[in-house]
Amino acid sequence: MKINKQWHITTLVAIGLLLISVANTFSSGHSWTTVRESEWQGALIDLYFVDQQHGWIVGSQSTILHTNDGGETWVNQPSQPLPFKNEFHKVRFISPQVGWIAGEEGTVLKTVDGGATWMKLSTGTRAALSTIFFVDDRHGWAGGDGGLIIHSTDGGMTWVRQETGTNNAIRTVQFASPEAGWAVGDAGTVIGTTDGGQTWVAQQGGVAASLDGMYMLTDQMGWAVGGNGALIHTTNAGETWETQESNVPHSNGMPEPIWGIHFTDANNGLCAAEFGVILRTSDGGKTWT
């Protein structure tokens, strides 16, 4: 199943920059600057910065873009292992050299040279993968359609399917350690694990909307966001979740979806909503402007 979420380049850059320098935004004001207008065809779907200089964007038509100057310039990186155009949904790096991409048809790519070359890994699935997350150079998880979560303990060279207890698509997976992790997805799905995914337990998120983004600040405190302005918060590793008012704009009487969220500490965070809307909180998500 194709993911319909298509981000504008300005929203992507905003989310990427907040991941690595959001504290500067909090101290310097509310303004954002477009780093570069898009000159590439197709949808740009995800962006990740591993530090203040090195970042990657992925999207449709096998797009992989890379910057090593904080987003001032971007270059295409070839996706050589794929004989056909693919749609990439998620990119994550653990260093300027080592990273992974997840996409359609069970695709996972890996690089160990900063994206100069990519290798296609065998995942054992043809399901669309929406998310991928590694806590170190060995332990990683990917998730996608049909409640799928697969796990690797060797940097992605081999993968094992984990039982999640849901058939709803997994949109984001995140781990605080090789043991403690969470995943969110369609129809308000929230699941957690304390044993690396050997067992996943349903958590009560309290919303029916699909959850697309999540950020765990610690192994206890985190937020998840999604459709209809959904925003939920936990302070106890997901044992309980509370709804927070997101204050997103409305369209046709309904709140717009929120695609991504990030916090630098227990109080200060940003989230990105539809149409490039960026919201800010300084009180742990109780209020957003």
Domain segments of the chain as ranges: 1-162, 164-289
pTM score, whole prediction: 0.88
Q: Is the pLDDT of residue 124 over 70?
A: yes
Instruction: Write the class of the CATH domain 164-289.
Output: mainly beta
Domain at 1-162, CATH homologous superfamily: YVTN repeat-like/Quinoprotein amine dehydrogenase (2.130.10.10)
Residue 243 pLDDT greater than 60, yes or no: yes
Pairing label, strands 190-193, 181-185: antiparallel
Q: Higher model confidence: residue 7 or residue 137? A: 137
Say if residue 138's pLDDT is above 90: yes
pLDDT of res. 4: 39
35-69 pLDDT per residue, tens: 655 566 668 899 999 999 999 999 998 999 999 99
pLDDT at 288: 95
**164-289 has the same fold as 1-162:** yes
Q: What is the pLDDT of residue 40?
A: 65
Is residue 19 scored above 80 in pLDDT? no
Compute, in degrees rounded to 10, the torsion defined by CA atoms 72, 10, 59, 97.
Answer: 40
> In whole angstroms, how far apart are CA 127 and each of 21, 149, 256?
34, 10, 28
The closest of 153, 135, 142, 36 to 88, measured between CA atoms, is 142
